[in-house]
Amino acid sequence: LYTALNIAFIGITFWLIPATKNVTLEHIERKLRAGEKLRNIGV
């Protein structure tokens, strides 16, 4: 049960949390203030 829940939450995390590698905090903040969707912040 514990393993199944961990696998499920890892999948949910990768699906919901945007990738922000090599993206500055200022860039993320600008996109958030502009009303950008969370999934598109790291793009």
Cα 40 from Cα 37, distance rounded (Å): 5
Q: Domain spans of the chain?
A: 2-40
**pTM tops 0.75:** no
Q: How far is CA 5 from CA 9, 15, 16, 20, 22, in A?
A: 6, 15, 16, 25, 30
Q: Tens of pLDDT along 1-43?
A: 999 999 999 998 888 887 778 889 899 899 999 998 888 887 7
